[in-house]
């Protein structure tokens, strides 16, 4: 099957591959470059960066690197610009600005301000006749799609999202800011007992502390007091105070050797019932060795959909909820019906 599937894919590659630009080149931008290399229907126009272009080396070494400010000259060359900046300061500015020039995809993930960000991107995209998909990736992204499916398929039910085991960048940063910490990473872990209770079809009410635990690996600075550091971490409001947190002290060598990867994942579980109380459980699970590469793969699949929705005149801000699954695949609809339905 693999063989014939490959043949079909190739036969479907159009004369005109989808031309992708990468806006920002950190872990996510590198992941987008790698993901495009695995598609049969896309080509990478270039990387656009606010750093000095000559200081940026791409994964393949073959991709042109341009200054960010040259983007407005490239509106005719790029079908979809994949915005790879962060949600804190990059995207709130870049998202609306770029949606006035390009079709875009981004991974804006500040849940609380999504409605505001949607509106800020929607207006310029509509005015310019562009399509801008926001908040794509895995959460928000495919996890969101599964929360929606769960609720729509089983209206009588509860949805649970568990994250981990995974490296949390924000929490790692918080630990690194503690006086006496020379280096650190933080992992979020779903609590086994809570996951099992939900999977079994119960609909427990779970406190924050019951759903997840947190595990820190910390390198102490010279002369730092381990107990004081531990106490400062586990009591930190918002980040750790509401969780059961374990702090492990390790050497700088161990940190570099054992904790350089960026695994993540989790579960979305909908536990519902139908009819006279039949239990129905739906679970969507990700186990990712590379969080940024999976997010990037989602951005690239949705960039394909954005290109098609733009061509179909569906302009403005969009989310994963607006995207028919078939638009994500490079294969023709008839092949999808024959092979995957």
**Does 137 show up as a binding residue in the annotation?**
no
The answer to whether residues 40 and 18 touch, using CB atoms and an 8 Å cutoff, is no
Query: What SS3 class is residue 196?
Result: helix
CA geometry: angle at 40 spanning 39 and 45, to 5°? 70
How does 72-85 read in b/e, with b if 16+ C-beta sit within 10 Å? eebeeebbbbbbbb
**Does 26 show up as a binding residue in the annotation?**
yes
As measured in angstroms, the least distance from the Cβ of 51 to a copy of itself is 22
Q: Which two tokens stand for residue 121?
A: 């991107």
Residue 28, Cβ neighbours under 10 Å: how many? 24
**Does 264 show up as a binding residue in the annotation?**
yes
**Nearer residue to a copy of itself within complex by CB, 44 or 219:** 44
Residues binding a copy of itself (CB under 8 A): 2, 30-31, 34-35, 38-40, 111, 114-115, 118, 135, 140, 142, 144-145, 147-149, 151-156, 158, 199, 201, 274-276, 278-290, 293-294, 296-298, 301, 304, 319-326, 328-330, 333-334, 336-338, 340-341
As measured in angstroms, the least distance from the Cβ of 42 to a copy of itself is 11
Residue 297, Cβ neighbours under 10 Å: how many? 21
**Nearer residue to a copy of itself within complex by CB, 158 or 254:** 158
**Does 248 show up as a binding residue in the annotation?**
no
Strand order in the sheet with 42-49: 65-67, 42-49, 18-23, 80-83, 103-105, 131-133, 316-318
As measured in angstroms, the least distance from the Cβ of 92 to a copy of itself is 16
**Does 146 show up as a binding residue in the annotation?**
no
DSSP letter at 209 equals H
As measured in angstroms, the least distance from the Cβ of 210 to a copy of itself is 16
**Nearer residue to a copy of itself within complex by CB, 246 or 280:** 280
**Does 49 show up as a binding residue in the annotation?**
yes
Annotated binding site for NADP(+): 25-28, 49-51, 84-87, 107-109
Annotated binding site: 25-28, 49-51, 84-87, 107-109, 163, 188, 214, 264, 291
């Amino acid at each position: 099957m693999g063989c014939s599937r490959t043949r079909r894919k190739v036969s479907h590659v159009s004369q005109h591959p989808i031309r992708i630009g990468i806006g920002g080149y950190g872990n996510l931008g590198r992941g987008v470059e790698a993901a495009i290399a695995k598609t049969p229907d896309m080509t990478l126009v270039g990387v656009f960066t606010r750093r000095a272009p000559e200081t940026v080396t791409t994964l393949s070494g073959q991709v042109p690197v341009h200054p960010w400010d040259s983007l407005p000259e490239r509106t005719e060359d790029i079908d979809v610009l994949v915005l790879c900046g962060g949600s804190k300061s990059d995207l709130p500015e870049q998202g609306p600005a770029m949606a006035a020039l390009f079709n875009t995809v981004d991974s804006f993930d500040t849940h609380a301000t999504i409605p505001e960000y949607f509106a800020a991107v929607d207006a310029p995209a509509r005015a310019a006749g562009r399509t801008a998909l926001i908040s794509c990736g895995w959460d928000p992204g495919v996890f969101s799609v599964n929360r929606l499916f769960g609720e729509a398929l089983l209206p009588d039910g509860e949805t649970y999202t568990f994250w981990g085991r995974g490296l949390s960048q924000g929490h790692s940063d918080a630990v690194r800011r503690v006086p006496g910490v020379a280096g650190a990473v933080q992992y979020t872990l779903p609590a086994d007992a809570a996951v099992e209770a939900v999977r079994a079809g119960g609909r427990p009410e779970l406190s924050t502390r019951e759903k997840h635990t947190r595990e820190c690996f910390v390198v102490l600075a010279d002369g730092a007091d381990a107990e004081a550091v531990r106490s400062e971490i586990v009591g930190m409001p918002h980040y750790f105070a509401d969780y059961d947190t374990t702090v492990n002290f390790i050497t700088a060598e161990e940190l570099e050797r054992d904790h350089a990867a960026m695994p993540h994942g989790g579960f979305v579980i909908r536990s519902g019932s139908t009819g006279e109380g039949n239990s129905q459980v739906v679970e969507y699970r990700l186990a990712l060795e590379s969080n940024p590469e999976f997010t990037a793969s989602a951005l690239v699949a949705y960039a394909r959909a954005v290109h098609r929705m733009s061509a179909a005149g569906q302009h403005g801000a969009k989310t994963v909820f607006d995207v028919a699954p078939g638009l994500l695949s490079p294969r023709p609809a008839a092949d999808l019906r024959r092979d995957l339905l």
